[in-house]
């Protein structure tokens, strides 16, 4: 593939592996050369091509017989919350916000472990080490921010977000599993969209969406939204 400055970027196709989202299917990713030095501008250009970051790996689904994984982004100036989203945003106005650069924090890590134990007990992500945690969420050269949301002094949620010149990218959000009634997953996305608008950034990238996957259905509730399909961004109109 070509980068914006016309320098070529080497990509590799992974061997097939078991799909994490569609039962009984195999998957293949297209991965950017791991020796490439990342920076915010390069990451932003790759996000614009449908890629996503996980740790130091920049990848895009590359399955021969399946195109179900679609990269999703929200045009922040056009976004209009629905009634349920407005209610969720209002009910969390008692939370305070702060942000920090990407570095290990014991309190954040403990909340992450609690979240995985409650939501992903059967996943190979469960019982992470601090190195697993930081290796999954961060990488050198990228402006990654940990956005904290607290009720008084109690940490309730953390959104890990990459800041690029053309938008914000939601890397991962985790929250207190005992606070499910607050809708913290929805609230943090609404907050990030507003944060992107405040920074005059046009896009909020939400990662991949699979229409047949219930766990991903929430992403297209932030409308209008666009999907990267056939090498172009197109408006998504899910049923």
pLDDT per residue as tens digits for the range 175-184: 999 999 999 9
Predicted confidence (pLDDT) at residue 152 exceeds the cutoff of 70: yes
Q: Which residues does 182 contact at the CB level (< 8 Å), separation at least 6? A: 88, 91, 92, 156
- pLDDT (0 to 100) of residue 3: 44
Q: Which helix (H) or strand (E) holds 32?
A: strand 29-32
Q: Does domain 1-239 have CATH number 1.10.490.10?
A: no
Instruction: List residues bridging with 184 in a β-sheet.
Output: none
Residue 13 has pLDDT above 60, yes or no: yes
What CA–CA distances, in Å, run from 197 to 75, 117, 167, 168, 225? 9, 34, 9, 10, 15
Is residue 23 very low, low, confident or very high in pLDDT (cuts 50, 70, 90)? confident
Q: 154-187: buried (b, 16+ CB within 10 Å) or exposed (e) per residue?
A: ebbbbbbbbbbebbbbbbebbbbeeeeebbbbbb
Closest CA to 147 of 160, 138, 129, 128: 160
Strand partners, 59: 31, 52
Q: Inform me whether the pLDDT recorded for 11 exceeds 50.
A: yes
């Amino acid at each position: 593939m070509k980068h914006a400055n016309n320098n070529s970027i080497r990509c590799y196709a992974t061997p097939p592996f078991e799909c994490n989202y569609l039962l009984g299917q195999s998957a293949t990713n297209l991965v950017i050369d791991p020796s490439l030095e990342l920076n915010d501008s390069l990451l932003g250009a790759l996000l614009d091509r449908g890629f996503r970051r996980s740790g130091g790996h920049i990848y895009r689904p590359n399955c021969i017989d399946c195109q179900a994984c679609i990269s999703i982004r929200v045009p922040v100036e056009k976004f209009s919350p629905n009634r349920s989203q407005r209610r969720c945003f209002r009910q969390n106005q008692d939370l305070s916000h702060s942000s920090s650069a990407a570095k290990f924090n014991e309190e954040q890590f403990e909340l992450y472990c609690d979240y995985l134990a409650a939501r992903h007990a059967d996943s190979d992500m469960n019982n992470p080490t601090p190195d697993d945690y930081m290796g999954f969420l961060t990488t050198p050269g990228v402006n990654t921010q940990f956005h904290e949301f607290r009720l008084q002094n109690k940490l309730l949620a953390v959104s890990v977000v990459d800041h690029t010149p053309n938008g914000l990218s939601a890397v991962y959000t985790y929250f207190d599993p005992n606070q499910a009634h607050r809708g913290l997953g929805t609230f943090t996305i609404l907050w990030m969209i507003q944060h992107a608008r405040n920074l005059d950034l046009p896009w909020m990238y939400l990662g991949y969406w699979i229409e047949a996957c219930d766990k991903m259905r929430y992403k297209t509730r932030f409308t209008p939204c666009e999907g990267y399909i056939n090498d172009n961004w197109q408006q998504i109109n899910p049923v």
